A and B are shown apart, each in its own frame.
Chain A
Amino acid sequence: MGASASDAAVTEGAPTRAAYLEVRDAGKQFGSFVALQRVNLAVQAGEFVTFLGPSGCGKTTLLRGIAGLDPPTTGRILQGGRDITHLPPSDRDFGIVFQSYALFPNLTVAQNIAYGLRGPAWPKARVKERVNEMLGLVGLAEHAPKYPAQLSGGQQQRVALARALATEPGLLLLDEPLSALDAVVRLHLRQEIRSLQQRLGVTTIMVTHDQEEAMSVSDRIVVMSRGRIEQIGSPAEIYTQPATPFVASFVGHSSRIEAVVDTPPGTVVAQGVRLPATGARLMLYGARVVCFIRPEHVRLHPHDAAPAGALMATVTGLEFLGPVVRLSLEAGPLRLLASIPPADLAALGSLADGKVAVTLPPEHLLVFPDDV
């Protein structure tokens, strides 16, 4: 991973205006294992931010650090201008939903939601009112007297959400809240969480390893890998302008091509194949690079009508995915993925001989310096 690349990514996410939550140089070490490495992050009030990355990338460690459950070993965390680095969880202002929900199994839905509503600020009548309000908000009004075990997974999830929001926290933390649910419920619930968050305007941080989930709900995504932040940006930025090779390969599908910068400027050579690449224009001759190209950017042409500079490819696999067909191609030494609408497949003519012409648009070739 290029140090320069990730540092660049970090500066992109540096605070520009007063942020609601600020993480400065946070690091965490377990023995000799570095779980978090000088992480910097600013979250604006009302924002929905997702930590995305493979397991072990430090995203949950960072979340637990923000919650004060496992405080970072170095660095500071500020919430609403207050330094909360040293504060125990009970002195902070957040609500949390765990992957397991951690609903109290011996308390009813209503009792679970009312759990944090205690003390002089919450007389009985007000608690009841608030619980009913929360139950209405998550659409579980008729389930109030039930125990968690009597609810479906999606309903339990909603109870956990209502419980976390009941005390009106300034910050909502979601630790893989949807991963225990099956696919259909998951799609539905993530939109519900998003619309609830927008209605209440509560600053939210979610941890997930599911990129589609992250893309669909977030204002901004923090892509993490090996204890570092790789990139912070809107879903579109992350997808179209990945800052590092890791982001390019982790978010969405892509074909990876190793190459060397050649002349004239804007050309790379991958195992003897010359490819024009806009991104390589400012790179030094002879530099080793890794290039990525998204399947939907790979252009296919009938092999008997190949445009100039096209590569001849053999189709080695074909998957029908509904809206698109994904083809695995071998173009000489290169292995490529391409996806095209089924209708366009017919326009390619007969694939009987398995031959097709391929062009890679230079502006869509993502080029990164390769520093192994």
Chain B
Amino acid sequence: MMSDAALSRPRLSLDQALMRGGLWLAAGFLAIFLVLPLGALLMRAFETPQGGFAGLANLAAYVTTPALLVAAWNSVWTAALTALIVVPLAFAFAYALTRSCMPTKPLFRAVMMLPLLAPSLLPALALIYLFGNQGMLRGLLMGNSIYGPIGIVVAQVFHCFPSAALILSVALSTADARLYEAAAALKASRARIFRTVTLPGARYGLVSAFVVVFTLVVTDFGIPKVIGGQFPVLATDVYKQVVGLQNFNMGAVVGLVLLLPAVIAYALDRWATRQRAATLSGRAVPLRPAPRRARDLPLLALCLVVAALLVGIVGVAVWGSLIRFWPYNLSLTLDNYDFTRFDAAGWSTVWLSVRMAALVAMIGSVIVFTIAYVLERGRQDGALPGMVRFAASVPLAVPGLVLGLAYVMFFNHPANPLGFLYGTLAILVLNSLVHFYTVCHLTAVTAIRQLDPEFEAVGASMRVPVWVTFWRVTVPICLPAILEIAVYLFVSAMTTVSAVIFLYGPDTKPASIAVVHMDEAGQASAAAAMAVVILGVTTAAKLGQLAVGAVVGRVTQAWRR
């Protein structure tokens, strides 16, 4: 009886109310710019072109159109083939980086990241220079055309290599040396140790790498657009239905189909991540490889070949962009960089991209970090935190093309009060931000979780408001992670094609779209030049991160030493 009377209802303090308010804002942001657009896409797939309810008619039309089904199958098998090539290659590369004593590892690590800085169109353009109709090495294909599956798979291998190698080098770097000592003490041969210790230790990394590569290939638009020729895949189909045929309903259906493999892959990856977390014991002794020539030299040779190919492909694109008239007049010129000759917009597309990417980076790092903070450090009661956490993880499974299409359908809807955003720079910024949200969110969450969970409690006990603690303690400590997020957003926004191709307006055309257009118009050299400019900007941003990081480190991270 008495305990009923004394049932307490704790009042929210100003701090807690503020955190809760922030979480509601986050939920609102993700609802408007992620959930509602995806909902609009879903509804459109079940509507007739006139807006009536079509039921499953669109789906039925899709399933009975052989050309569309062929595209879906093409997407799946090129993606699987790419993954089967990339994952073993990336595994060997990552193995060399983590488990050997070969020289110049940092250099290989840097070269490995090169494809991430380039738009996916760049390797496709380079391959056309080498193996296209006027390619110098066309004979090597023995009559096959580079335009089609061969070109797609080779370009995707280049494009996906860093993602797979990154995942696998993380998986391989968390080995427990004691397992190896135990195996050696039990007189296991090297091959047996590799089979029974190394591979099982990396198996979830292998699953993750395979899944990530598969998803990247299925959802990539730039490479099949440039080098796919008449070979249809899902990503180009969506584009064709929407831009070519203006059939938004069928576009929505194909978009949903495109979402399917990505969602399955995402679920699989989450499963693998959970398993991996469970296998990692807290007190593992890190493995330090000892030099062994029989292992180190072959691995070094392999890394040299891979690095040469990565640099070579970028090199071909750079070289091609400097050629007067491929392949007949190989004299060098800067004419291809005079973009006004090919596209009325000229260099303004580059400045627009830089402006857009800078806005995404600045606004994005603030939004992402703040949302991660209120989510991690606010009260965890009720359904709201769980919902926001889930919403923040969704963008990883949504291909850029699907998100872009969803934005078209949502923001271009006559009844939407936010319709004024359509065709503006703002919508490009918001779309890119949401598209790349999850990776940044995870980076922020990881950084925040490393802080002592009682910081806010200590602040509250001294009556210091939570925003003071956030500003004086949390942000300064997490500055390196925030910088990392900003640069990741900048590079991604500079290089993305799929996320923005449905959304740019006449005055807001990004450089990556200009590459597609120039390639479509047959101006391959100019397209290559533009891709190289993008690569230059992103490389500068990455180098800038290193420089700024060093300065920021000296000023704000003195306590770490």
Contacts and interface: CB of A to CB of B under 8 A. Distances in A.
Interface in B278-325: none
The interface centre, meaning the residue of A98, A106, A167 with most chain B CB atoms within 10 A of its CB, is A106
Contacts of A163: 458, 462
A318 interface: no
A98 B460 contact: no
B8 A106 contact: no
Interface stretch (A80-88, A180-188, A201-209): A80-88
Interface string B1-23: 01100111111111110000000
A106 B15 contact: no
B6 A102 contact: no
Interface in B447-464: 452, 454-455, 457-464
A106 B7 CA distance: 41
Given A27-B3, A89-B457, A89-B461, A147 B10 contact: no
B473 A67 contact: no
A164 B16 contact: no
A258 interface: no
Interface stretch (B216-224, B355-363, B543-551, B553-561): B553-561
The interface centre, meaning the residue of B464, B468, B558 with most chain A CB atoms within 10 A of its CB, is B464
Interface string B123-134: 000000000000
A75 B8 contact: yes
Interface string B505-533: 00000000000000000000000000000
Given A38-B3, A67-B457, A167-B463, A86 B15 contact: no
Given A25-B3, A104-B473, A72 B461 contact: no
A94 interface: yes
Interface in A166-207: 166-167, 169
A71 B3 contact: no
Contact of A102 (B7, B15, B458, B472): B458
A90 B477 contact: no
Contact of B452 (A25, A67, A74, A100): A100
B465 interface: yes
Nearest to A94: B461
B8 A105 contact: no
B327 interface: no
A136 B507 CA distance: 66
A89 B464 CA distance: 10
Contacts of A106: 473, 476-477, 556-557, 559
Contacts of A284: none
Contacts of B8: 71-76, 85-86
B473 A71 contact: no
Interface in A101-153: 102, 104-107, 115-116, 118, 147-149
A1 to B, nearest CB: 20
A117 B463 CA distance: 9
Given A104-B455, A107-B473, A95 B461 contact: yes
Contacts of A25: 2-3, 6
A72 B468 CA distance: 27
A88 B462 contact: no
A25 B560 CA distance: 46
A90 B6 contact: no
A179 to B, nearest CB: 15
A167 B559 contact: no
B11 A87 contact: yes
B457 A69 contact: yes
Interface in B464-487: 464-465, 468, 472-473, 476-477
Contact of B13 (A24, A91, A115, A149): A91
A96 interface: yes
Nearest to B560: A149
Given A88-B15, A102-B457, A115 B462 contact: yes
Given A94-B461, A116-B464, A88 B13 contact: yes
A118 B469 CA distance: 12
Nearest to A105: B559
B462 A116 contact: yes
A25 B7 CA distance: 10
Contact of B455 (A67, A72, A94, A102): A102
Contacts of B454: 98, 100, 102
Interface string A220-238: 0000000000000000000
B7 A147 contact: no
B270 to A, nearest CB: 25
B461 A88 contact: no
Contacts of A166: 462
Given A90-B465, A104-B473, A147 B3 contact: no
Contact of A75 (B6, B462, B464, B557): B6
Nearest to A96: B461
A95 B454 CA distance: 13
Contacts of B459: 115
Contacts of B7: 73-74
A104 B557 CA distance: 12
Contact of A74 (B3, B462, B473, B561): B3
Contacts of B468: 118
B447 to A, nearest CB: 13
A274 to B, nearest CB: 46
Given A88-B12, A106-B556, A164 B461 contact: yes
A309 B8 CA distance: 59
A190 to B, nearest CB: 21
Nearest to B461: A96
B32 to A, nearest CB: 31
A90 B3 contact: no
Contact of B559 (A67, A91, A147): A147
Contacts of B473: 104, 106-107
Contacts of B472: 104, 107
Contacts of A89: 13, 457, 460-461
B11 to A, nearest CB: 5
A167 B9 CA distance: 28
B10 to A, nearest CB: 4
A118 B464 CA distance: 8
B280 to A, nearest CB: 22
A136 B555 CA distance: 29
The interface centre, meaning the residue of A89, A92, A118 with most chain B CB atoms within 10 A of its CB, is A89
Nearest to A108: B559
Interface in B423-464: 452, 454-455, 457-464
Nearest to A167: B462
Nearest to B451: A105
The interface centre, meaning the residue of B2, B3, B6, B462 with most chain A CB atoms within 10 A of its CB, is B462
Contacts of A164: 461
Contact of A105 (B6, B458, B464, B477): B477
Contact of B457 (A74, A76, A98, A147): A98
A90 B13 contact: yes
Contacts of A72: 8
Interface in B195-214: none
B469 to A, nearest CB: 8
A177 to B, nearest CB: 12
Nearest to B468: A118
A147 B476 CA distance: 14
28 contacts: A25-B3, A71-B8, A73-B8, A75-B6, A85-B8, A86-B10, A88-B11, A88-B12, A88-B15, A88-B16, A88-B460, A90-B14, A96-B458, A98-B452, A102-B458, A105-B477, A105-B559, A106-B477, A115-B458, A115-B464, A116-B462, A116-B463, A116-B464, A118-B468, A147-B559, A149-B559, A166-B462, A167-B462
Interface of A: 24-25, 27, 38, 67-69, 71-76, 85-92, 94-96, 98, 100, 102, 104-107, 115-116, 118, 147-149, 163-164, 166-167, 169
The 5 closest A-B pairs by CB, nearest first: A116-B462, A88-B13, A147-B559, A89-B460, A102-B454
Given A86-B8, A86-B11, A105-B477, 10 more contacts: A27-B3, A69-B457, A74-B8, A86-B10, A88-B16, A90-B15, A90-B461, A100-B452, A105-B560, A106-B473
